[in-house]
């Protein structure tokens, strides 16, 4: 944890930026780069608003907007009496940075993009989970499947359990990066699932696929688990295309 005496960077951090209409975004990008390169570390205090404005060659209003954006991403914290202090990136901030890039539109093309990414990610997750799952992982997955079955007629509750199943499966890989990436897709996938629930029978079909994946994971069979998840992704793609009125390519 940072001490009460935050460190002042000893070197000039930046050069003036060219004047374009996205100045605040450029300031954000530059400060993020400095944090990722460890030129600004946890506990470091940013130069004052006035100093940053002079170094970047922008107005104090632009700097203020950039600092607000960084604070929203939890990369800095504005502390009364101490100024703006750098916070270390966390899994939550990494997921948030990815979430802002992902917005689902009701179109066949965007549905394909989402499903394509899910297929690559979740097929591998299922395969690894079959090899690495523990008894606790299996108990958690069993409980989620049972809860989902109890909520087949409650769309909001079912979506919660649906997302929880995929998150628990990612957890069963015991590679936290899978969980971070999947969490970054959670908001997008919630919107996708809401669209898909407009097609009759979607919850029960989804549950059937989840059971197939779970049984393959329980059996410790990575090939079968990957195949079961791939079939789930086929069904998800078909359902989503029906929901948005698109045609599915063969």
Per-residue pLDDT tens, the chain, 250 aa: give them: 444 455 655 555 655 555 444 788 889 889 888 877 778 888 889 998 899 999 999 999 999 998 988 888 778 888 877 789 988 766 565 555 555 554 444 444 456 777 788 899 999 999 999 999 999 999 999 999 999 999 999 988 898 899 999 999 999 999 998 988 887 777 667 777 777 777 888 999 999 999 999 999 999 999 999 999 999 999 988 887 787 765 444 4
Q: Is residue 14 part of a domain?
A: no
Q: Is residue 189 part of a domain?
A: yes
Q: What is the pLDDT of residue 13?
A: 60
Q: What is the pLDDT of residue 105?
A: 44
Q: How far is CA 47 from CA 12, 85, 127, 208, in A?
A: 10, 9, 48, 56
Q: How far is CA 107 from CA 8, 136, 236, 237, in A?
A: 49, 39, 15, 12
Q: Could you give the angle at which helices 186-196 and 222-244 cross, rounded to 10 degrees?
A: 60
Point out the domain boundary residue: 39, 61, 89.
89
Say how far apart CA 124 and CA 129 lie, in whole Å. 8
DSSP-derived secondary structure letter, 201: T
> What are the tokens at 159?
């979506």
Say how far apart CA 206 and CA 155 lie, in whole Å. 12
Q: What is the pLDDT of residue 98?
A: 53
Q: Locate all alpha helices (DSSP H) within 185-221, ordered by sequence.
A: 186-196, 202-218
- Closest to 122 (Cα-Cα) out of 166, 177, 185: 166
Q: Is residue 66 part of a domain?
A: yes
Same domain, 186 and 232: yes
Q: Which residues lie closer than 8 Å to 246 by C-beta, 6 or more apart? A: 107, 108, 111
> What are the tokens at 81?
């009496």
Q: For the chain, what is the domain count?
A: 2
Cβ atoms within 10 Å, residue 5: 9
Question: Domain range for residue 186?
Answer: 95-244
Point out the domain boundary residue: 89, 117, 145.
89
**Concatenated DSSP letters of 215-246:** HHHHTT-HHHHHHHHHHHHHHHHHHHHHHHTP
Same domain, 187 and 138: yes
Q: Is 145 within 8 Å of 210 (Cβ atoms)?
A: yes
Q: What is the pLDDT of residue 200?
A: 86
Q: What is the pLDDT of residue 212?
A: 98
- Phi and psi at 99, nearest 5°, equal -60, -40
Q: What is the pLDDT of residue 1?
A: 44
Q: Is residue 152 part of a domain?
A: yes
Burial bucket for residue 70 (CB in 10 Å: 0-12, 13-18, 19+): buried
Q: What is the pLDDT of residue 39?
A: 83
Point out the domain boundary residue: 54, 74, 89.
89
Which residues in 1-113 belong to E strands, given as ranges? 76-79, 83-86
Q: What is the pLDDT of residue 42?
A: 82
Q: Is residue 8 part of a domain?
A: no
CATH number at residue 217: 1.20.120.530
Same domain, 116 and 219: yes
Name the pTM for this structure.
0.62
Same domain, 67 and 175: no
């Amino acid at each position: 944890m940072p001490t009460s005496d935050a460190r002042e960077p000893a070197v000039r951090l930046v050069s003036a930026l060219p004047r374009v209409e996205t100045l605040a975004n450029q300031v954000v990008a530059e400060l993020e780069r400095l944090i990722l390169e460890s030129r600004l570390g946890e506990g470091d205090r940013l130069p004052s608003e006035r100093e940053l404005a002079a170094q970047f060659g922008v107005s104090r209003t632009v700097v203020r907007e950039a600092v607000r954006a960084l604070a929203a991403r939890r990369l800095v914290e504005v502390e009364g009496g101490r100024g703006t202090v750098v916070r270390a990136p966390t899994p939550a901030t990494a997921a948030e940075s990815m979430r802002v890039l992902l917005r689902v539109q009701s179109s066949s093309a965007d549905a394909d993009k989402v499903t394509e990414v899910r297929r690559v990610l979740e097929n591998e997750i299922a395969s690894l989970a079959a090899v690495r799952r523990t008894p606790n992982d299996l108990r958690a997955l069993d409980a989620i499947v049972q809860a989902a079955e109890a909520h087949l007629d409650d769309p909001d509750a079912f979506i919660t359990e649906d997302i929880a199943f995929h998150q628990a499966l990612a957890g069963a890989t015991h590679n936290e990066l899978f969980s971070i990436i999947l969490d970054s897709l959670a908001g997008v996938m919630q919107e996708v699932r809401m669209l898909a629930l407009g097609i009759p029978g979607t919850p029960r079909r989804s549950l059937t696929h989840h059971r197939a994946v779970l049984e393959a994971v329980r059996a410790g069979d990575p090939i079968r688990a990957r195949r079961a998840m791939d079939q789930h992704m086929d069904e998800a793609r078909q359902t989503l295309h029906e929901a948005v009125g698109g045609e599915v390519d063969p």
